Chains A and B, each alone.
Chain A
Amino acid sequence: MTRRVAVTGIGVVAPGGTGAKAFWDLLAAGRTATRGITLFDPEGLRSRIAAECDFDPLEHGLDPELSRHADRYIQFAVVAAGEAVRDSGFDVGQENPWRVGVCLGSAVGGTTRLEHDYVLVSEGGRRWDVDHRTADPQLHLAFSPSTLASVVAAQFGAQGPVQTVSTGCTSGLDAVGYAFHTIEEGRADVCITGASDSPISPITMACFDAIKATSPNNDDPEHASRPFDANRNGFVMGEGAAVLVLEEYEHARARGAHIYCEIGGYATYGNAYHMTGLTSEGLEMSRAIDGTLDQARLDPTLIDYVNAHGSGTRQNDRHETAAVKQSLGEHAYKTPMSSIKSMVGHSLGAIGAIEVVACVLALKHQAVPPTANYETPDPECDLDYVPRTARPRKLRNVLSVGSGFGGFQSAVLLTGPGGRTR
């Protein structure tokens, strides 16, 4: 018998507000959280804007040790996981800890800390033979990407499969997908999943400058992230985390948990095309969508909303518009498709999980979040992108899709109450 997988808790740290409520308020209002970078002095960079989190770890109850020493992206994850676990009412102390897993994504992990300390040990970039004597004794925690899942597992007492996923900008979607498979295949009953990244640092901004992927719209940061708009000019960097508690359906029912929705399917494919480039046909993303729907045995005409990758680069927007048309056919034109990156920026690996949580909230509130800043239609992108204001809508089956450097194309299906219509 197939094990069903329920979402029983959510937590989020996003630009514009911490916590699921603040996050949804931002999306529902169509407000943008993009601004000039304050986390470091961006002088000299081509793109000097980002969607930053106003985040005080102590205010969110993070223990003082983690507040002082842990990397920012770890702090985001622990705070979001705390919210999600509380929300689910799940108490690991009452459970078999070997049946509780953690699966969290991050694209760049401890890069920000690594860069910070690199500057110290290299005399500001002057030495190749760096000086270990001035290095932070905790530097290994930034060196290894698995620190993310490990710290969260230790915080919440998980002893089952604990894994970090790092598939670039689909890390968040893939982490949720892997966690879904982990429960479906019976390797755990509960899995704390999601993703976190804090990539707003000189090296990460500079490396996207170098390929002109980020928006140089420094004079008008609030309107810089313009997915699907004809006047888009690149993505706006973001940061944050989102965490979900996934649970085997009967396990959740047995303890009387509130069930937001179910994970209906997940699939991922590679485009085997280019590390950063996307085709204008989007066949591989379409394949991921098809695979996801196949798993749920769901007809594409039953999709009520597509949460787009919508990064705001021309090639992405064309690619994914084509992919959704390929998979949904004529139904694509009747299906709202929006990008919340217009409001919270593109937090690399984290965003996929943040977008899945946006879908959970969309199902909860029966409303589609908008694409902010969408003003001028692009003839190459002719779907309904939900311009500027959220839209009430009956939602049962919603799809979140993403693309990442390395060619990753992933899709996750969420089915709300009444959504399991074959």
Chain B
Amino acid sequence: MSTQRPRRAVVTGIGVIAPNGLRADAYWKSVREGLGVLDRITREGCEHLPLRVAGEVRAFDAADLIEERFLVQTDRFSHFAMAATVLALDDAGLGAVDPEEAYDIGVVTAAGSGGGEFGQRELQKLWGQGSRFVGPYQSIAWFYAASTGQISIRGGFKGPCGVVASDEAGGLDAIAHAARGVRRGTAAMVVGAAEAPLAPYSMVCQLAYPELSTVEDPDRAYRPFTKGACGFVPAEGGAMLVVEDERRARDRGAAVRAVVAGHAATFTGASQWERSREGLAHAIRGALAEADCAPEEIDVVFADALGVPAADRAEALAIADALGAHGTRVPVTAPKTGIGRAYCGAPLLDTAAAVLAMEHGQIPPTPNVFDICHDLDVVTSNARPAELRTALILSRGLMGSNAALVVRRGGDLAR
């Protein structure tokens, strides 16, 4: 009789729709090269707003991957999520779902602002023309559950379906939710987040964030950990992953890309950035404990990197608090400075980058960031070759949540 090892949740597929690349390989190439793609916002009706720079997903045609009947009834944020799902499933080698297995595959997304562009269009019809002009898809396109529902329907996935929200940190919470679902018995979860916040009214809402950067020079607008830190630049896009039971993945011969090893989340209050030091450190310790991981085992940190001086300081101190002396030695990176923060899509993009970095043995740089004013080893300018077995990904939400995720390289597992 053998003792059954607890089920382990592994990443077997990655799908990315990002401002700097429309597939995991294109995204990784841009991230590794430190390409900065922040640029003037070109979405219709946004030109006059005092937020000029963002990370836009350009040259994206959802119809390349998704049937038009799904596209007419969904917002851009769901287009991103559905397209990223197609890429992730393809990457994982998962084809059409076997009806026998439908209940074994679930879907969970993190929600940020929902279908804002679609919603604004319907609000305009309602208030400009009358209630009879509101279409039948408003009831299913604007709300936060739209992407999970459509992914489930399109893929035939009847497993546990969920939607979580904790602003940016919600992206890591979703990954943890999926991993727990796998540990509880679901064979695989399609998980991730994508956002499309660059519509006129959505941008007006974001202008209220005190942390938002409205600097008009793309190279200077988002520079965390430097003296030039002036807030964050928003972005659209995100990533979807396939998180799967390790044994099932091996049985079907899928490549195990990474292990979702540990996660924890805490709360320290909206815009209480000094207090986020304690909250983030607590989350890091919790994630390390769940992963059974010593601080010294962390080979790279993907930072939250908000770009607000008090928040950057809190994050640097939290890393030191939780990792001890190792905290000042461990390489830290924030590829999102080249693409902006896609709200809850951002930590999904970071997790994708972390998995790819471990696979390629290279730590990607932090674009536009050179003059570090904190006691951190931030990787700047060029990618740094390194043996990476374990990565720590950090995220904080603008409403006060803190989250940490530990992922381990897939190839290192005992077979």
Contact = CB atoms under 8 A, between A and B. Distances in A.
Asked if A and B are interacting partners, one says: yes
Interface string B85-115: 0000000000000000011001100011110
A272 B97 CA distance: 11
B167 A144 contact: yes
Contacts of A146: 165-167, 170, 397, 399, 401
Interface string B382-415: 0000000000000001111100000000000000
Contacts of A108: 143
27 contacts: A44-B132, A122-B127, A125-B126, A130-B200, A132-B204, A132-B207, A139-B208, A146-B401, A153-B400, A161-B266, A163-B170, A164-B165, A166-B143, A166-B145, A167-B148, A168-B145, A168-B149, A206-B131, A206-B134, A207-B138, A207-B142, A210-B136, A268-B162, A269-B158, A274-B153, A405-B143, A405-B145
A270 B127 contact: no
A207 B134 contact: yes
Interface string A163-197: 11111100000100010010001010000000000
B267 A166 contact: no
B360 to A, nearest CB: 33
Contact of A135 (B45, B173, B208, B279): B208
Interface in A43-86: 44-45
Interface in A103-136: 107-109, 111, 114-115, 118-119, 121-122, 124-126, 128-130, 132, 135-136
Contacts of A206: 126, 131, 134, 138
Contact of B398 (A144, A163, A268, A408): A144
Given A178-B164, A275-B140, 6 more contacts: A122-B201, A132-B207, A159-B267, A207-B122, A272-B155, A287-B158
Interface of A: 44-45, 98, 102, 107-109, 111, 114-115, 118-119, 121-122, 124-126, 128-130, 132, 135-147, 149-150, 153-154, 158-168, 174, 178, 181, 185, 187, 202-203, 205-211, 213, 267-276, 284, 287, 404-408
Contacts of A128: 44-45, 120, 124, 200
Contacts of A137: 208
B398 to A, nearest CB: 7
A272 B45 CA distance: 36
B156 interface: yes
Interface in B21-43: none
Contacts of A115: 123
Contacts of A153: 267, 269, 400
Contacts of B45: 128-130
Contacts of B270: 150, 154
B226 interface: no
Contact of A275 (B153, B267, B268): B153
A187 B399 CA distance: 21
Most-contacted residue by chain A among B48, B155, B159, B165 (CB, 10 A): B165
Contacts of A129: 45-48, 200
Contacts of B73: 275
Contact of B138 (A109, A118, A210, A287): A210
Nearest to A408: B161
Most-contacted residue by chain A among B123, B142, B265 (CB, 10 A): B123
A229 to B, nearest CB: 24
A147 B139 contact: no
Most-contacted residue by chain B among A118, A119, A166, A205 (CB, 10 A): A166
Say which size band chain B's interface belongs to: 35 or more
A109 B144 CA distance: 9
Interface string B45-81: 1111110000000000000000000000100000000
B232 interface: no
A204 to B, nearest CB: 8
Contacts of B6: none
B157 interface: yes
B205 A210 contact: no
A163 B205 contact: no
A170 B268 CA distance: 28
Most-contacted residue by chain B among A102, A145, A164 (CB, 10 A): A145
Nearest to A169: B145
A162 B180 contact: no
A169 to B, nearest CB: 9
A125 B128 contact: yes
A45 B161 contact: no
Interface of B: 44-50, 73, 102-103, 106-107, 111-114, 119-120, 122-132, 134-136, 138-140, 142-146, 148-150, 152-153, 155-167, 170, 173, 177, 180, 200-209, 264-270, 279, 282, 397-401
Interface of B is mostly: mixed
Pairs A-B, 4 closest by C-beta atoms: A125-B127, A406-B149, A125-B128, A143-B205
Contact of A143 (B44, B103, B113, B153): B113
Contacts of A407: 149, 152-153, 161
Contacts of B122: 203, 207
A272 B158 contact: yes
A153 B269 CA distance: 8
Contacts of B202: 143
B208 A181 contact: no
Contact of A268 (B46, B161, B203, B266): B161
Most-contacted residue by chain A among B159, B162, B167, B399 (CB, 10 A): B399
B143 A168 contact: yes
Nearest to B50: A132
Most-contacted residue by chain B among A137, A162, A168, A268 (CB, 10 A): A162
B65 to A, nearest CB: 19
Nearest to A295: B184
B149 A408 contact: yes
A185 B180 CA distance: 9
Contacts of A145: 111, 114, 144, 165
B134 to A, nearest CB: 4
Nearest to A184: B184
Contacts of B129: 125
A275 B70 CA distance: 11
B144 A142 contact: no
A173 to B, nearest CB: 12
Contacts of B123: 115, 118-119, 122, 125, 203
A168 B163 CA distance: 9
Contacts of B398: 140, 144
A165 B163 contact: yes
A203 B126 contact: yes
B162 A167 contact: yes
B120 A118 contact: yes
Contacts of B146: 275, 406
Contacts of A98: 266, 282
A165 B148 contact: no
B198 to A, nearest CB: 13
Contact of B113 (A144, A162, A205, A270): A144
Contacts of B180: 181, 185
B47 to A, nearest CB: 7
Given A118-B127, A163-B170, A139 B205 contact: yes
Nearest to B167: A146
A210 B135 CA distance: 6
Nearest to B127: A125
